Chains A and B, each alone.
Chain A
Amino acid sequence: MKMNLIRNELFLNRRSFFISGSVILLFSAMFAGMADMYLSNELMIDMLKTMPQGLLDAFGMDAELMTTFEGWMAGEPYMFTVLLLGAFSGIWAATSISKEKDQQTGEFLFTLPYSRTSIFLHKVLTQFIQITMISLVNLLIVFIFGFLFSSIESPGTVLVLMLGAYFISLAFAGVGYAITSILSSERAAISLGVGIVLVSFLLNMLSSLNEKLNWMADFSLFSMFDTKQIVLESSLTMPGILITLGIYFAGIVIGNIIFVRRDITM
């Protein structure tokens, strides 16, 4: 393992890492800390019961689940975690090579005595460390705020929920790795990294609004795990795990093949 490459990548990503980490942790602290305000709010639950199920699904809300901390976390907080962590993961992955080309630092980095595969995989490894660290701290924050301001009956369910969000974020990173070597513009990479997550979110949302649009969910990573099922069974479905991790690893392999074979033009 080349610590030099990992250290360099951590240094280069330090600002976006702290910004993204802070944003996600702030949201999680807010959602976990305010859980009881919703859970004990009869008016809110009554109002949710009057709303069409499709609309509630679209925004990750379920009146039946809104009675426990775990059920609350499976709604909007889960959706926001996937949205934010997925977007940051997608951006990091999509810009990993394209940024070097855009800022013209590639001619320096890619002519050091490291193979292109080594450079690519160390970027992947560094970003894996970043995504994992944010996910772990996020989980810790949810537990702390959950225990302090609400009551967590099943910590395992919360863990599985956050694990689901983590797997989906890795899948978004995989999509980013697959395209990063094709792109030469950092802006285009950022737009695509975020865009893919937003399109996926919209597909999932639209699929809930009408039965005829249900097929859209098949193309959305947001529908990989059924949060209702997670809350009820405290486990992730195997197909969801295999598909998300499959996309992650396939993206790394495809991205590396493209990176190794393509001319580096700046």
Chain B
Amino acid sequence: MSAISTKNLTKYYGKHKGVSNINLDVREGEIFGFIGPNGAGKSTTIRMLMQLINPTSGEIKVLNQSLSTEQSVLRKNIGYLPSEINYYKDMTGKQVLEFAARANDIQLKETSTKEYAELLNFDMSKKVKSYSLGNRKKLGILQTLLHKPKLLILDEPTSGLDPLMQHSFFDLLKELNGTGMTIFFSTHVLSEVEKVCDRVAIIRNGEIIRTSKVSEIQESKKRTIEVQFAKSGNMIEKYDLKQIDSSVTFQNGIHHLTVQKEIHNALQHISQNAIQDISIHKPTLEELFMEYYEKEEGGK
């Protein structure tokens, strides 16, 4: 069953395209990453899911409820963390959380907020205006989780958190996902997706260009080979390395080759000559993403 489902979701701001024909299918119980650079349309899509902005066309279903009309009660099952969260400055963190808890018809003391606050090393007693960006984010995380929603929608959740907190946060996400919570989060930091996501959708210029499992993207056969031959100097022509990779380069005594298909033939070709050093490595998700993006950009 789908936790989030969109069909040809489109948003135009006047003549300017926000997003176009977004088709998402986030299954219940999965961690779904929504990746793309700044301005790609991630927040626009999320704000439509939260009914903050109205789609120009297309359909949205969240937790099997159509969002063609306002579904305020449905929000009791959704935890939403915007990319830039702001609360009432004169309230303390605790007052904000109490207000949000009462909105969900629960008492703050009945929730796991205290436990999560300790985990995130967050002081609830201070006024919002005294919080740093990171602490405001922590408050946002606590508010998002306090009513134990079925679905978490997080827009750039780790911006403002230090690496240690990011680590704790991802551990928490995994733990919550283990209890059956569906998590949909947007980011432009690919290592975050690599860490926790089951599936991802890549968005560029307001359009989804690929949706797949993270493992499928990582299973690309592409390899980078760095080889230093026994004979010094540029051997690209002499050893006919362009037969393996037409864009082979030579830098600081090392030949850099990218192999798109089976690596076996490439290694056989290279090993016909004496090798001093060789290394082969898989591309990171970041490299694959950039390559994918550049490819799409070139195709346009």
CB of B45 closer than 8 Å to a CB of A: no
* A11→B92 CA distance, assembly (Å): 12
Contact of A105 among B52, B75, B88, B100 (CB under 8 A): B88
Q: Which of A25-33, A114-122, A219-227 contacts B (4 or more CB under 8 A)?
A: A114-122
Closest-by-CB residue of B relative to A106 is: B52
CB of B275 closer than 8 Å to a CB of A: no
CB of B20 closer than 8 Å to a CB of A: no
Q: A110-B52, A115-B70, A116-B70 are in contact. Are A105 and B86 (CB under 8 A)?
A: yes
CB of A111 closer than 8 Å to a CB of B: yes
* A44→B126 CA distance, assembly (Å): 58
Contact of B102 among A4, A104, A115, A264 (CB under 8 A): A4
Considering only CB atoms and an 8 Å cut-off, how many residues of chain B contact the other chain? Answer: 27
Enumerate chain B residues within 8 angstroms of A261, measured Cβ to Cβ: 54
What is the count of residue pairs linking A and B with beta-carbon distances less than 8 angstroms?
62
CB of B239 closer than 8 Å to a CB of A: no
Interface residues on A, range: 20 to 34
* A114→B74 CA distance, assembly (Å): 10
- Which residues between 248 and 266 of chain A lie within 8 Å of chain B, taking CB atoms? 260-261, 263-265
Give 10 closest A-B pairs by Cβ, nearest first.
A263-B53, A104-B86, A112-B103, A115-B72, A113-B75, A4-B102, A107-B82, A264-B52, A113-B76, A111-B80
B residues whose Cβ falls under 8 Å from a Cβ of A: 50, 52-54, 70, 72-76, 80, 82, 84-91, 96, 99-100, 102-104, 143
Using A105-B86, A263-B54 as known contacts, list a sample of 13 further A-B pairs with CB atoms less than 8 Å apart, ordered by residue number in A: A11-B91, A12-B90, A103-B89, A108-B82, A108-B96, A110-B52, A111-B50, A111-B52, A112-B75, A112-B100, A113-B72, A113-B75, A113-B76
A residues whose Cβ falls under 8 Å from a Cβ of B: 4, 8, 11-12, 103-105, 107-108, 110-116, 118, 260-261, 263-265
